[in-house]
Structure 1
C-alpha cells in the first residue's frame, strides 16, 4: 500500500486536470475518526472512509512559523522573495537525502558528501559540490543524473541512488517568488526564509476548498484542504466506485420511475408520538422497506369523546363503514352566521332560553324553531348613541303554539344561546360521500362497522365530529418481510431519509388500514398547522348610562332599531325570560338593573311592563 500523505500536501500536489480522484482516509487527529464542523454541518472522517475529490479552488496561503508554531495568512499577491532553508541533516545514501528533501517529487538541488564518493569510473572528492538534476530516464529508481561543480561543462554523470556516503545538502543561493513556489508541488515541501517577514523558517501551504462526494451524504461536501487527516490515493483501484446517496422523502417522491423499490432507512423520526400504528412504530434505522408508489391521501380529521376522554382519528376515504348525519350544536348566533356565509341556510331549534340585552331584539325560548333567512345591518339608537349592528333575519315558529303564524325576527350576532340543527336526512352514507355532500365540520354517527377491521372503535361513540378534510401526498410502503400490509408515510416528514437497494421486490397485493388513531400531541400539532379563517364572535355593545346631576331617577328611552336595508317592522317576542341581573355602567359609579320583563299571565295585560331605573349610588329606587 502507498504511503499516506496529509490531505493538504495531497491537494496541493494533485493537478486540477487530473480530477476527479478517489482518496481513502488513512488516519486523523484521532486514530479512529476525526470530526469537523464543515460549513455549519458536522462531518466525520473515519479511518477507511472513501472520498471522491471533484474540484479544488484556491483560497489563501497559510504561512507557519516552524519555530514559534504560529500560523498566519499571506495575500496571494505577496511580492517579496523566498530562499530555501538548507536541511542540516546527514544521510547514508543519496536516495535518503533526496527522499527527505522532496519525497517522490523531483527538483534540482546541490549536495555533497563528507566522504569520497567512489564510482565505477571515477572518484568524487569529499565535500565536492554536486547538482542533482533529475532521475535517470531509463532507470529512475536506481540512478540520478548529476553535474559535478568542479567541471560544470562536463557532461552529466550517473550516480547510483544507493551510493554510500555522508550526504548533506549544500547552500543554495537561488531565490523564488511566491507564485513559483505555489506552482511547484516539490518546492512546497521545503521550508523558507523571507527577509521582509522574519528569519523563519516558514512552511508555506496553499489552502484550497475542495468539493467532494462522500458515502451517505446527499449533497456535495465542501471542505478545506487543511483538515488534519492522512490520505491515500486509490483512484486506480476504485475509479468506478458508486457512492451511496441518501434521499429525503421529498426526493424519493420524485423517483416514481424506480417504484416499486426496496430501500433501507438511514434516518428516521420516532413515529410513536404521531399515529398509534404498530407498523409505523416499527420504523427504525436499518429497517428495509418496499416503496410501492406515490399517491394522494384523502382523509378526514375526526374527534370523538366518551365521558371526559377524547380520541382523535384519521378516517380515510376507503373506510367502508356507514354513518348518519347528526345535528350540529351552536352556541351563538354568530356561529349560525358563519354557516350562512358559507352558503348553508340552517333550520335550528332553541335548546336554552336566550335573553337579549337590548329591548329592540327578541328573546328566545326553549323549543322555538328558527329558520335562517339572510344577513342584514340595522341601526340601534338610544338617547346617547346610534350604532350599526349586524343581525340575522330569521323566521321563528313557536313550539307550544301551532296555530300562531311564524314571525320574522332579527337576532344580533353576539346573542348567546343553545341551538341544535334540525336534521331530516336519515340516510346512511360512506365517508367519501359525506365529504362530498356535506360541509365540514359536521357531526356523524357510525351505524355500521368497517368489515375489514377486526374491531371498529368508531361504532362505540354516540357522535363523531369530522373537522377537516386533509389531502397530502404520501408514499405507500410496507416492510420487506411483510410486503402485503401497507402503511402511508407523509412526504412532508423531514427527519426521514432512505437509500435505494438493488434487492428484488416480491410480487404481492397491498392492504391498507382505512382508520388510524392519532396521539393527542400529534392532533394538536396538526390543528396548529392547519389554516384557520375563523374569527371570534362580536362582543355585545356597551350600554351607555348617563347620570342626572341631582341624583334623581331619570327615565331612559327605549332603544330604537331601524333596519338599514329593509323596512320590515321588527316583531317583539311574546315570551321572554324574567331577569333582574344588574348592569354596571362604565361611565359612572352606579349599578342599574337591566329592563325587567315580566311574563304575562292569563288575567294580566299581555303587553310587557318595562322599567328602567337609573341612580348614581348603590341603591336601587322603586
Structure 2
C-alpha cells in the first residue's frame, strides 16, 4: 500500500475532471471486503482491499443534498430547474486577512462579496459605522506597501464611496447574504461554489442549509479484468491515488472502433480481442457478423476511408434487400429504366436530369375539374419545365385555383414513309408537338425512356449520373466467391457515402478480409501481443468482400440523415362540388342540346300511365338483324306470301312463324300473346298497335330468308 492519504471515493472523484484522467486508484478499506460483490444496474462490481482501479472517464449524473441539521440526504437530477442561494458563514472573522484567506470559495473567483463590521472603523479620515455593508471589489497589491481590499460603501441618499481597507485591520467581520442565484449545473461546474452551503430560493421546500455533493458515473478498468466497469462515485469505499507509483502496471485498455481509427499506421496489422460484442439487433446481415462475439479474436489489417454506395432491390414478391457496396466492386452494370408512380416522382427525377423522357404504362382517365388529362398506354412524353397551371373550375370564393404542374411535350412516333421525306417529317413533327400539363399530385404509372446500352463500372455511374439510379449487373465480380448482386433483375443505387472502415479478418482465414463500417457498428476491443497468423514478413494476398448486406433499419437510418428536410409531395386541391357540377354541365351542354325536346316531356314516374308503359317498351333497343347469307345464284329465292287471319288483326296476337321454327322467336312471341284482362288479378301491360306492326315486319323478314 502506498504511503499516501486515503480519501472516500466520493470526495476523490469530485476533485477530478476529465482533463486529468486516467487516474489509478487503490482500494484501502470500506464496506467491500475481500471477495465481496456489489450489483449495480445489472452488473457485478467486486472491490477487494488492494485492488487497482484505473479511472478512464467520469460523467456527472446527479447531486446529493445533505441537510446539515439532521443529516438527511436526498438526490436531485443535474437538470433540476430550482435555484439556490449561498448561505453566509456564521463565524465572525477577527481580521480582514483571515476573512479573505478562510473564505472557502476563494476570493479571486467569487468577487464581489459583501461583509459588515460590528464596530466602527476609520481609514484615512473616512469613518465606517458599525453594521455598514462593505462590498469587496478587488485586492490591491502595491510594491513595498501592505495589501489592501478596495471596497464600495453605499451611504445615505444614494451617496456612495470607495475605501481601501488594509488586510491587517482588526475587528469582528461577518459575511452578508448574496443576492446571486445559481442552478445545480452552475454550482457543480465551479470548484469554489461546490464547497459552500446553499439554501433553496423557494424556502417552503427546505429552509435549512444544504451541502451539495456531485455524484458521478465512473468508467474504469481493473487490473487483470477485461471489461469496463461502470459504478457511481457514491460507493462507500476509501481509496488512495497511486498513479505515480503504478505507471508500469499493464492494464487491459478497452477501445471503441472509433478510437481504433485514431491509432497510428504502425499499430497495424495486429491481433485484437473482442471485449464487448456488437448489439444483438444489428444493422448488418452479413456472414462475418455472427462470428464476432465476446472473447473472440480478429486481425485488424489497416484503417482508412472507403467510398461506398447503398443499393436496394425493387419491391416485388420477395422481401426487399439492401446492400452496402464498395466502389471497388469489379462487376459491370447497365442502366435500367426507372419506374414512377406519380408525376411528383417524375418532377424529382427531372430536377436531377433535365429533359427526362418517359412512357405511359397504364391508361389514365381525364378529370377536367382537377386538371388531369387523359393518357394512353404507350404514349411518350418529354418534360420541359415545371410551372403553374389554372384549373378549369375555380374555388368556392370565385377565384381560379392554380397548382404546380409539369409542362410536357407528347413525342410523335416515327411513321414508315419514304426516305426522301424524312427531313420534312422531322420538321413537321417538331411543329406539331402537343404540349400537355401534368399536375404534380397526379397519380399514374410511368417508365423512363432510355437509349443507353453501355456497360459501366460502379464508380463511373456515380460520376456520370445523378442518384438514385436503376441498374442491373450484367457481369459479376470475379474476385468474389459468390456475388449476391448478380441475381437481381434490377437494383436501385440509393446514394453514395464515404465511410471510415477497418479492414479485418479472422485468424483462421487471414486472407479473406471484410470491411467494418465503424460509424454503424459498436463494439469494444483490446490490442493483444499475440503473433500474426502468417510467417513473419510474408503477408498473404488479401481478398476483400466488396458487398455487405444490411437491414431495412440501416436503410431507414440512412434516409433519415439525408432526407430529413425533404418536402412531402403536394396534395390535390379541395373539390368544390358546386363548381364541379357546373363544369360537368358545361362539358355536356352540346350533348343535351342534340336530344331536342325529349327531356321536356318526361312523364312522372310516380304515376304509372299507359304512355309511360308504351315509352318503356319502345325505348328498349333490339340488336340489329343479322346480314343475309351469301347467295350463290343470281336469282333471288321465291317469296311466299304471308296470309293474315282476321283474329290476328283484331286481337293483336302475333302467331308463331310456320316457315322457320326458332326457340328464341318462340319465347319472344309468347311474352306478347297474353291479352290484357281488366278483371284479372295480374297486372299485365297493354301492347299498342305500333309494337304489333313492328313485330309483324320482323317476322316477314325472317320468312324472306
Q: TM-score, normalised by structure 2?
A: 0.50
1:298 aligned residue: 307
Structure 1 SS opposite 2:320: strand
- Distance apart, 1:456 and its partner CA: 2.3
Q: Distance in 1 between matches of 2:214 and 2:570?
A: 65
Q: Report how many residues are paired.
A: 421
> Structure 1 runs of 4+ off > 6 angstroms?
9-12, 40-43, 59-65, 70-73, 75-80, 207-213, 216-223, 230-237, 400-404
- Distance apart, 1:415 and its partner CA: 2.2
Q: Distance in 2 between matches of 1:535 and 1:60?
A: 48
- Distance apart, 1:319 and its partner CA: 1.6
Q: Distance in 1 between matches of 2:531 and 2:295?
A: 17
Structure 2 SS opposite 1:458: coil
Q: Distance in 1 between matches of 2:66 and 2:436?
A: 87
Whether the 8 Å CA contact 2:279–2:522 is kept in 1: the answer is no
Whether the 8 Å CA contact 2:390–2:402 is kept in 1: the answer is yes
The reply to whether residue 308 of structure 1 matches residue 318 of structure 2 is yes
Q: Distance in 2 between matches of 1:468 and 1:53?
A: 42
Q: Distance in 1 between matches of 2:230 and 2:270?
A: 27
The reply to whether residue 259 of structure 1 matches residue 262 of structure 2 is no
Quick one: which of 308, 321, 324 aligns to 2:331?
Answer: 321
Larger Rg: 2
The reply to whether residue 243 of structure 1 matches residue 244 of structure 2 is no
Q: Distance in 1 between matches of 2:10 and 2:47?
A: 18
2:475 aligned residue: 448
Whether the 8 Å CA contact 1:298–1:472 is kept in 2: the answer is yes
The C-alpha deviation readout for 1:195-239, integer Å capped at 9, x for no partner, is: xxxxxxxxxxxx999999643799999975x74457799999856
Whether the 8 Å CA contact 1:22–1:52 is kept in 2: the answer is yes
- Distance apart, 1:470 and its partner CA: 3.0
1:46 aligned residue: 47
The C-alpha deviation readout for 1:12-34, integer Å capped at 9, x for no partner, is: 9xxx9xx9876356785364234
- Superposed, which structure 2 residues align to 1:92-103 within 5 Å? none
The C-alpha deviation readout for 1:148-206, integer Å capped at 9, x for no partner, is: xxxxxxxxxxxxxxxxxxxxxxxxxxxxxxxxxxxxxxxxxxxxxxxxxxxxxxxxxxx
The C-alpha deviation readout for 1:5-63, integer Å capped at 9, x for no partner, is: 98659999xxx9xx9876356785364234376xx997824336313699xxxx99999
Quick one: which of 370, 386, 389 aligns to 2:400?
Answer: 386
Structure 2 SS opposite 1:439: coil
Q: Which runs of 5+ in 1 are unaligned?
A: 81-206, 548-553, 558-591, 599-603, 614-618
The alpha-carbon distance between structure 1 residues 480 and 367, as it changes in their structure 2 partners (threshold 3 A), is: same
Whether the 8 Å CA contact 1:304–1:463 is kept in 2: the answer is yes
- Superposed, which structure 2 residues align to 1:202-601 within 5 Å? 214-215=221-222, 227-229=235-237, 238=246, 240-257=248-265, 258-270=267-279, 273-305=282-314, 307-358=317-368, 362-380=373-391, 382=393, 384-399=398-413, 405-493=432-520, 495-505=522-532, 506=534, 507-546=539-578, 556=582
Whether the 8 Å CA contact 1:24–1:234 is kept in 2: the answer is no
Whether the 8 Å CA contact 1:325–1:425 is kept in 2: the answer is yes
Whether the 8 Å CA contact 2:10–2:235 is kept in 1: the answer is no
2:652 aligned residue: none
Structure 2 SS opposite 1:537: coil
2:97 aligned residue: none
Structure 2 SS opposite 1:389: strand
Q: Distance in 2 between matches of 1:231 and 1:329?
A: 68
The C-alpha deviation readout for 1:239-272, integer Å capped at 9, x for no partner, is: 6313332122222211134333332221121467
Which one is further off, 266-275 or 278-287?
266-275
Whether the 8 Å CA contact 1:11–1:208 is kept in 2: the answer is no
The alpha-carbon distance between structure 1 residues 21 and 394, as it changes in their structure 2 partners (threshold 3 A), is: closer
Question: Which structure has the highest helix share of the two?
Answer: 2
Question: Which structure has the highest strand share of the two?
Answer: 1
RMSD: 5.0
Which one is further off, 254-263 or 340-349?
254-263
The alpha-carbon distance between structure 1 residues 459 and 27, as it changes in their structure 2 partners (threshold 3 A), is: same
